[in-house]
Amino acid sequence: MSSKTSPSAARKAGPEQVKQSLRVWLKMLKATKHVEAVVRENLRVEFDTTLPRFDVMAALYRFEEGLKMSELSSALRVSNGNVTGIIERLVSDGSVLRVPVAGDKRAMLVRLTQRGRDEFARMAAAHELWINEIFGSLPVDVTAGLLATLDTIEHAQGLYSEGEHDA
Amino acid sequence: MSSKTSPSAARKAGPEQVKQSLRVWLKMLKATKHVEAVVRENLRVEFDTTLPRFDVMAALYRFEEGLKMSELSSALRVSNGNVTGIIERLVSDGSVLRVPVAGDKRAMLVRLTQRGRDEFARMAAAHELWINEIFGSLPVDVTAGLLATLDTIEHAQGLYSEGEHDA
DNA sequence: GCATGAAATTTCAAGCTTGAATAATTTCCG
DNA sequence: CGGAAATTATTCAAGCTTGAAATTTCATGC
């Protein structure tokens, strides 16, 4: 009768653990969305631009020599077609330049114009302050712990072969 | 000449702190996007649905009696017009029902159909497991610390009068 | 009753995002 | 060389998202 051996019981997640996981995730999501909303709003009001544009410019700022479309989309981890549209608008704004790649007629190199660089430098400076207004109040040991925990999350399940991590 | 008193120096954030804030934020954003991407992909592949739809259904699941469109959009913290489109699609899927509000011809109550409830229950169960796969490996004290830290972030700057917090 | 403003919702234009399909080019190999 | 496969980028349809404008209805005060 009592021969119930419950084979998978050892590795089974308790309902309490599942709930806690969910709770943490929802809070993390909420906090992230909150910060993102602040950044979006500030970008819109102070610089009349958007977060995706900002992200693209940030990537191009870092690679002065320019990036191929495919490099850009994989750096930002978004789809190819996505970047096409954003770059299009940045080009017509005069912030980004397209140059053909020597020796490969398929590829295009995109890079910031000087105007784009100046623009982004101003935005990045403001952005740093916005973020620091939110995160700057955390004690150093807390942010250190947060960094460590977030690292763990990223590597929690090696199911997805993450491409190159940017430094 | 040397009468520079630098009035704001006392409260000035050190460049090291700003950098650390930025580092934490970028990592938090990255981790959140990673988890979100997993959820989106799983919802798409296993249930042929989207995260926004899931979010709407989650809210409606919690309020069995239904919600007004305005209540729904403020619960999800998205724009009014946004919800309209999502509900439209959920209605034509047969997952959501619209009922007029007695005594107010402007308002509409939206609620899950039985089919919608069953659908969501299955999705929610799977969702819990996905999340637990990622967060379940964290030690209890770490998740506790994470929860506390995230709370601090939400309330770091009381610049925005947050509406009602959902429990 | 009636005007005036508030509230609830939809509509709209613009932009973001994805995954799939397409097109052009390059690379690999036989 | 010449064709199959891989790479690069764009196009496309569908859906999400926003803020603003428009619409309808309600509430208030006169």
- Whether A33 is in a domain gets the answer yes
Is residue B73 a part of any domain in this protein? yes
CATH number for the domain including A130?
1.10.10.10
- Report helix, strand or coil for B126: helix
User: Which band of pLDDT confidence, cut at 50, 70 and 90, is reported for residue A157?
Assistant: low
pLDDT in tens, A116-147: 999 999 999 999 999 999 998 888 888 888 88
Q: What's the first-to-final CA gap in chain B, in angstroms?
A: 58
CB contact under 8 A, B29 and A31: no
- The reported pLDDT for the residue numbered A69 is 96
Query: What percent of chain B has pLDDT above 70?
Result: 85
- Structurally, chain B folds into a number of domains equal to 1
HSE-CB at B134 with a 13 A cutoff on CA atoms is 27
Closest approach of chain B CAs to the CA of A141, in angstroms?
11
Average pLDDT over residues B82-92: 95
Would you say A42 and A126 are in contact if contact means Cβ atoms under 8 Å apart?
Answer: yes
- Please determine, for residue B105, whether its predicted confidence score (pLDDT) is greater than 50: yes
> For residue B122, is it within any domain?
yes
Is residue A109 domain-resident? yes
Q: Which residues get their CB within 7 angstroms of nucleic chain D?
A: A 41, 44, 68-71, 80-81, 83-85, 87, 101, 104, 106-109; B 50-53, 77-82, 85-86, 89, 103-106
Q: How far lies B18's CA from each of A32, A131, B31, in Å?
A: 18, 8, 20
> At which residue do the structure tokens 């610049």 appear?
B159
DSSP string spanning B62-99? Answer: H-TT-EEHHHHHHHHT--HHHHHHHHHHHHHHTSEEEE
In terms of residue numbers, what domain contains B80? 50-136
Interface of A with B in 54-73 (CB under 8 A): none
Confidence band of B154 (pLDDT split at 50, 70, 90): confident
In a domain, A123, yes or no: yes
Residue B109 lies in a domain: yes
Find residues 23-42 of chain A whose CB sits inside 8 Å of chain B: 23-25, 27-38
What's the average model confidence in pLDDT over A25-54? 93
The predicted model gives A75-102 an average pLDDT of: 95
Q: Which residues lie closer than 8 Å to A62 by C-beta, 6 or more apart?
A: none
Half-sphere exposure of B88 (CA within 13 A, CB side): 6
Residue A145 within a domain: no
The backbone region for B85, taken as left when phi is positive above 0, alpha when psi lies in -120 to 50, beta otherwise, is: alpha
pLDDT digits (tens, 9 = 90+) for B11-58: 566 777 888 899 999 999 999 999 999 999 999 999 999 999 999 999
| B98 in a structural domain | yes
The pLDDT score that the predictor gives to residue A163 is 36
Average pLDDT, chain A: 85
Q: Which of B137, B152, B160 sits opposite A138 (nearest CB)?
A: B152
pLDDT at site A12: 62
List bases in chain D with any atom under 7 Å of a protein Cβ.
7-13, 15-21, 24-27
A141 or B102: which leads in pLDDT: B102
Give the helix/strand (H/E) hosting A111: strand A104-112
- Please give, rounded to a whole number of angstroms, the shortest distance from the CA of B109 to a CA of chain A: 26
pLDDT at B151 (0 to 100): 84
3-state secondary structure of A68: strand
Q: In angstroms, rounded to a whole number, what is the distance separating the alpha carbons of residues B67 and B101? A: 10
pLDDT of residue A107: 95
